[in-house]
Structure 1
Amino acid sequence: MKSLLTDLINLLFPTLCVGCDQTLHQADQFLCTACRLALPETNDHQSPDHNESHNKFAGKVPIRYVTSYARFVKGGVMQRAIHRIKYEGNKDAATGFGRWYGAILNEHSSLADDIDLLVGVPLHKQRLRQRGYNQADQLAIGLSETMQLPARTDVLVRTEFKSSQTKKNRLERWANVETVFGVADALAVKDKHIAIVDDVLTTGATIEACAAELLRAGCREVSVITLAVTQ
């Protein structure tokens, strides 16, 4: 009876792939097999201290490791997936991507042995009310489940509400976020290696601002883990 009810619910309200909107098979979660195979993975984790993602921070703020799951290609699977995560309420996909990437990092890198705490880039309270959740926190929670690392959603805070970064250049992005972050619990980061988690690494301005605050609060080292990275 339970199986029949599940089949009926799936028939009436099918679960759609966040990458292509096709109905998912029962074995799939939020991304179909074809879309997952089409993801342009970066392999950043093979050299997390020396890759294109890491180069975005060169000469700006000291970052130990940087690793991004896939390249953000305009019109591609990852762009569509992130749009659904951020603007269409697909919270579970954010957590699921975190679990996937955490499993990859566990299998092919030693990052979990070196990092003490995962922290998502925070949203302002106003934006959080609008969206209902913070996609960066959900990614961090997913990563924590497979990497067996603690994740905190209350360490970094956004103190000012600023306009979207989407259409700004690097200087505008930095000016927009330079003073908007703070550390709410300095003891939680003191002498620890913190990994900042976010959905997309673009110019790096937002993460730079977060890293600067963490280091100012006594953090030993900062690394970065993102779902996607722009070219």
Structure 2
Amino acid sequence: MSLWTDIRDFFFPRLCLSCGRKLLVGEEGLCISCFSSLPYTNLGNTPGNEMEKCFWGRFPIVRASSLFYYAKGGDVALILYAMKYHGRKTLCCKMGELMAGELLASGFFEGVDCLLPVPLYRARLRQRGYNQSELLASGISKVTGIPLVTDAIIRSRNNATQTHKSGYARWKNVEGLFQATVTASCLEGKHVLLVDDVLTTGATLIACADALFELKNIRISVLTLAWAR
């Protein structure tokens, strides 16, 4: 541990998002005790799993998985909120590394050519200063070596937040939300892994897939940190 880290942790101690205990070196977001009790989905690389079925009939998905189950007010919700609204960039990257580490041995990433994080609208990106999904993807890339593609699709408008919307309202909210760029042509014939922080109805990820629909022989998989089953 560096002197600067000692000084920083003395004046600004890092606390567990759940229990409030001071975090030890190597802990990020949650202490080991709280982290060990997180609700893992254990979906792994299981073909035809329940999450994958969310996309059946929407687009020809190769595979889908998520690390944790999401519950309102739970520890996973605290992680997601800190990632999106409290500037916890390191936490985003660490969660991406964890996702990759959990799935790497299962063969989930075999054949994947690139990682495509769900983009933010440019005004929201300027306001927040980062895209949590892109940081998640960067953590995955660090472990797997799979490159990121961040300029193939754009968010065409600053749509209202999906929080508190009904299922139907979520679908209407993302209709035509994403557009492919000229760069997207490099994805033809590729296996693309869409990366996002949380899956609820699947509306946002399906809207991303729709933006890529015209590309020849593209194959799409999905990976999220959490799933609100």
**Structure 2 length as normaliser, TM-score?**
0.94
Give, in whole Å, the separation in 2 of the partners of 1:226 and 1:65.
Answer: 12
Change (3 A) 1:80 1:188: same
Residue 64 (structure 2) pairs with residue 66 (structure 1) = yes
Which residue identity does 1:168 align to in structure 2?
K
**Count of matched residue positions in the alignment of Structure 1 and Structure 2:** 228
Give the match's secondary structure for 1:140. Answer: helix
Give the C-alpha shift of residue 137 in structure 1: 0.5
Give the match's secondary structure for 1:173. Answer: helix
Deviations 1:186-225 (A, max 9, x none): 2221110101000000000110010111232335210000
Give the match's secondary structure for 2:212. Answer: helix
Q: Which residue of 2 aligns with 1:160?
A: 157
Give, in whole Å, the separation in 1 of the partners of 2:178 and 2:43.
Answer: 27
Q: Which residue of 2 aligns with 1:143?
A: 140
Give the C-alpha shift of residue 59 in structure 1: 1.9
Residue 136 (structure 2) pairs with residue 124 (structure 1) = no
| Counterpart mapping for 1:86-125 below 5 A | 86-107=84-105, 109-125=106-122
Give, in whole Å, the separation in 1 of the partners of 2:215 and 2:20.
Answer: 44
Give the C-alpha shift of residue 228 in structure 1: 0.1
Give, in whole Å, the separation in 1 of the partners of 2:180 and 2:133.
Answer: 16
Give, in whole Å, the separation in 1 of the partners of 2:42 and 2:131.
Answer: 26
Deviations 1:157-181 (A, max 9, x none): 1011111111112221111111110
Give the C-alpha shift of residue 38 in structure 1: 1.1
Give the C-alpha shift of residue 147 in structure 1: 1.4
Q: Which residue of 1 aligns with 2:82?
A: 84
Q: Which residue of 1 aligns with 2:12?
A: 13
Contact 2:116–2:195, Cα closer than 8 Å, also in 1? yes
Residue 42 (structure 2) pairs with residue 43 (structure 1) = yes
Give the alignment's Cα RMSD to 1 decimal: 1.6
Give, in whole Å, the separation in 1 of the partners of 2:216 and 2:165.
Answer: 30
5+ residue gaps, structure 1, are none
Which residue identity does 2:12 align to in structure 1?
F
Give, in whole Å, the separation in 1 of the partners of 2:83 and 2:110.
Answer: 29
Change (3 A) 1:208 1:5: closer
Change (3 A) 1:24 1:167: same
Change (3 A) 1:88 1:3: closer
Q: Which residue of 1 aligns with 2:30?
A: 31
**Structure 1 length as normaliser, TM-score?**
0.93
